[in-house]
Amino acid sequence: MDEARADGSASGGQPVPEYVPGHGLLAGKTVVVTAAAGAGIGSAVARRCLEESARAVVLGDIHGRRLAEAREELSRRYGADRVAAVVCDVTDEAQVGELLDAAEPFGGTDVLINNAGLGGTRSVLEMTDEEWSRVLDTTLTGTFRCVRAAGNRMVRAGRRGVIVNNASVVGWRAQEGQAHYAAAKAGVMALTRCAAMDLAEHGIRVNAVSPSLAMHPFLAKVTSEDLLDELKAREAFGRAAEPWEVANVMVFLASDYSSYMTGEVVSVSGQHP
């Protein structure tokens, strides 16, 4: 898949490996993905799920135009009968419900991938209550809303579903100007572990990935080149991950290959000290 591949060697790092073909890991499953428009991890995992033979993928995103473009592109490539899209702001519980409603014509949600998050850079000395709350409400509380809503539906349906959350290595490792985002992602990790225990009796698994640096156009737009170079230098391969490399691990956690894993936070990182 040409558009999914980039050459990491251009920045002095190891080259990006060849894109991995699908192996039917999600055959027959309906997957809901939040923040699935654009060119980041959400978009990559939506594509990856379709390539892994998911029955259908329901895309959610706050950006209506980008969402429509994502649906059109995926429908053209994988079939319009396998792709649905709903504008969804995860800070709005009603919209979360509408997103999950869109999975019902496909048999209901088998897999929920919580990718929605909001970041920013600000010293704690200058951070306002509004900036703090906005990041926490989207990144942590938004994930909680989706876990609660999907979990309840899975329990009512007697479905042994799977929830995969997107955390971050900054939930473990300090980074300047990231107090709000780091606190939110650390919260996602704790939420993942506790929700896994609450849902285990129903046969529902909850895990998370914790990426370090995944390169996509939006990140390049909001991050200085100097900082990106510094972050890449911390990686063992000397490059950022491609979004699809993170998506591959999400798909593994969503699949039956990880059937005995729950409450785990899997680092998708090549960082070194």
Q: What is the mean pLDDT of the chain?
A: 91
pLDDT at 152: 98
Alpha helices in 165-242 (DSSP H): 179-200, 217-222, 225-233
72-125: pLDDT as tens digits: 999 999 999 999 999 999 999 999 999 999 999 999 999 999 999 999 999 999
SS3 content of the chain, % helix, strand, coil (to 5): 50, 15, 35
Indicate the range of 19-23, 80-84, 202-206 predicted with least confidence. Answer: 19-23
Residue 228's pLDDT is: 65
Put residue 12 in one of left, alpha, beta given phi > 0 → left and psi -120 to 50 → alpha: left
Residue 9 pLDDT more than 50?
Answer: no
Nearest in space to 116 (alpha carbons), one of 170, 47, 165: 165
The model carries a pTM of 0.91
Give the pLDDT confidence score for residue 85 in this predicted structure. 98
pLDDT at 230 over 80: no
Asked if pLDDT for residue 15 goes beyond 50, the answer is: yes
Q: Over the stretch 122-159, which tens digit does the pLDDT of each residue have?
A: 999 999 999 999 999 999 999 999 999 999 999 999 99
| Domain locations in the chain as residue ranges | 30-268
Spell out the alpha helix ranges (H) of 140-213.
142-157, 179-200
The class (CATH top level) of 30-268 is alpha beta
Question: Mind telling me the catalytic residues?
Answer: 181
What's the residue count for the chain? 273
pLDDT reading at 26 higher than 60: yes
- pLDDT for 8 equals 42
Q: What pLDDT does residue 7 have? A: 41
pLDDT digits (tens, 9 = 90+) for 51-65: 999 999 999 999 999
